């Protein structure tokens, strides 16, 4: 195969899987809403199970549910009949995947689940199958053909099941009102956790590290303060410690362009009045967004009374791993 052949194969595969998802969209009906209601009314956990390739998909669906507000875990159906079924309680709900709907390791669990009175939501590509018929609710993931040219390897069918699982997880997320703070609590590690959990107060410069001068200060005093604190700007405060404005490296370049005598000027004459600021309880990610949107590299941090309580620059956010 040439490089062109490879690309043609890839495009054909993607188009076949996109077509399969269009089919699944057409299958959506009231059963999807009933499945959501069952999960929302479940006082226990969602146990997701499947064998082979369906098992890999089931594992991912369980992980997505768990990270978006629906307690869930994966149970291997082969191990379930050898003791792992003991993990399932009467308050739980089972989501079972099988493209054929006849996978023996999965269907063999149905009698015990029925005895326990546990609801089963099935995801299959065969609405007339045993698993589809015996489930409390069936979600139809049937497709016309696999992306595999032999129409054998699970490709489009596993994609269809995965996307139905994603649709279920997101519908439940929205129904629960699951927001960024909730998401952060289940994702405390890595860069995602830092972006969601870190507050401005956690990374800002405080106390004597804040560059600040009174509005009566000379430009020379303001420049000395900027040099000492090394953040590229200084806050200009009134007598009540409230923020009047800022003087930045950019303001200094503009002052020099005007060929002004630096010794004869007060900083209040040259500062950027007002300007952007941020609250210490804001997410650090919000500070990044504000700086990028305003094309600035630093921010004063002010409390509810407009008093300066901190200072922040882009380097601080970069060092904290927020960017």
Rounded distance between C-alpha atoms, residue 273 and residue 256, angstroms: 19
Does residue 194 sit within a domain? no
The answer to whether residues 163 and 207 belong to one domain is no
Q: Are the C-beta atoms of 94 and 121 separated by less than 8 Å?
A: yes
What's the confidence (pLDDT) of residue 184?
63
Asked whether residue 185 is domain-assigned, the answer is no
pLDDT at 317: 85
Number of domains in the chain: 2
Please report whether residue 192 resides in a domain: no
CB burial string 254-282: b at 16+ within 10 A, e below? ebeeeeeeeeebbbbebbbeebebbbbeb
The per-residue pLDDT for 28 is 96
Please tell me the predicted confidence (pLDDT) of residue 190.
57
With pLDDT > 70 as the criterion, what percentage of the chain qualifies?
Answer: 93
100-151 pLDDT, tens digit each: 999 999 999 999 999 999 999 999 999 999 999 999 999 999 999 999 999 9
In a shared domain, residues 13 and 153 = yes
**Distance, CA of 321 to CA of 202 (rounded, Å):** 12
Give the CATH number of the domain where residue 301 resides.
3.10.580.10
Kindly state whether residues 75 and 141 are assigned to the same domain: yes
Distance in angstroms (rounded) separating the CA atoms of residues 1 and 19: 25
What pLDDT shows up at residue 204? 94
* 169 and 259 inside one domain: no
Q: Note whether 21 and 89 are same-domain residues.
A: yes
| Distance from the Cα of residue 262 to its chain's centroid | 49
Q: Which residues contact 107 (CB under 8 A, 6 or more apart)?
A: 98, 101, 130, 131, 134
Q: Are residues 239 and 206 in the same domain?
A: yes
CATH code of the domain containing 92: 3.40.50.10490
Q: In this model, does residue 183 exceed pLDDT 80?
A: no
Find out whether 122 and 93 touch, Cβ atoms under 8 Å. Answer: no
- 235 and 291 part of one domain: yes
Say if residue 97's pLDDT is above 70.
Answer: yes
Sorting pLDDT into bands at 50, 70 and 90, what band is 179? Answer: confident
pLDDT: which is higher, 281 or 193: 281
Q: Is residue 127 part of a domain?
A: yes
Q: Which two tokens stand for residue 154?
A: 């699970």
The domain in which residue 47 lies consists of 3-178
Look at residue 181 and tell me whether its pLDDT is greater than 70: no
Mean pLDDT, the chain, rounded, equals 91
The pLDDT value given to residue 155: 96
Final residue before a domain boundary, out of 119, 148, 178: 178
Quickly state the pLDDT bin for 256 (edges 50, 70, 90): confident
pLDDT of residue 268: 86
Q: What angle do CA 118, 120, 121 make, to 5 degrees?
A: 150
| 32-43 mean pLDDT | 97
Domain identity same for 30 and 148: yes
pLDDT in tens, 185-242: 666 665 566 666 788 999 999 999 999 999 889 888 999 999 999 998 999 998 888 9
Residue 231, by phi and psi: left (phi above 0), alpha (psi -120 to 50) or beta? alpha
Select from 216, 220, 231 the least CA-distant residue to 255.
Answer: 220
**Residues present in the chain in total:** 323
> Is 297 in a helix, a strand, or coil?
coil
Which two tokens mark 163? 């996307």
* 189 within some domain: no
Per-residue b or e along 120-150, where b marks 16 or more CB atoms closer than 10 Å to that residue's CB: bbbbbbbbebbbbebbbbbbbbbbeebbeee
């Amino acid at each position: 195969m040439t490089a062109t052949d490879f690309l043609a194969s890839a495009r054909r595969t993607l188009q076949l899987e996109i077509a399969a998802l269009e089919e699944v969209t057409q299958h959506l009906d009231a059963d999807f809403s009933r499945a959501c209601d069952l999960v929302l009314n479940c006082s226990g956990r969602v146990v997701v199970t499947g064998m082979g390739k369906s098992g890999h998909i089931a594992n991912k669906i369980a992980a997505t549910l768990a990270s978006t507000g629906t307690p869930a875990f994966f149970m291997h159906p082969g191990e379930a009949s050898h003791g792992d079924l003991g993990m399932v309680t009467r308050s739980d709900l089972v989501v079972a995947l099988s493209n054929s709907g006849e996978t023996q390791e999965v269907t063999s669990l149905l009698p015990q689940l029925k005895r326990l009175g546990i609801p089963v939501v099935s995801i299959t590509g065969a609405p007339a199958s045993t698993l589809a018929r015996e489930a409390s609710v069936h979600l139809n993931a049937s497709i016309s053909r696999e992306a595999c040219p032999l129409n054998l390897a699970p490709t489009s069918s596993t994609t269809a099941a995965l996307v139905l699982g994603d649709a279920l997880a997101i519908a439940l997320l929205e129904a629960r009102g699951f927001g960024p703070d909730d998401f952060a609590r289940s994702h405390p590690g890595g860069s995602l956790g830092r972006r969601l959990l870190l507050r401005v107060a956690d990374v800002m410069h405080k106390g004597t590290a804040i560059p600040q001068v009174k509005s009566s200060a000379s430009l020379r005093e303001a420049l000395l303060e900027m040099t000492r604190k090394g953040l590229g700007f200084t806050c200009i405060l009134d007598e009540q410690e409230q923020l009047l404005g800022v003087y930045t490296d950019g303001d200094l370049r503009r002052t020099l362009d005007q060929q002004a005598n630096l010794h004869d000027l007060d900083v209040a004459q040259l500062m950027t009045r007002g300007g952007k600021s941020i609250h210490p309880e804001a997410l650090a990610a919000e500070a990044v967004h504000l700086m990028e949107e305003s094309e600035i590299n630093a921010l004063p941090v002010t409390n509810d009374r407009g008093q300066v309580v901190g200072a922040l620059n882009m380097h601080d956010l970069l060092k904290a791993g927020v960017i």
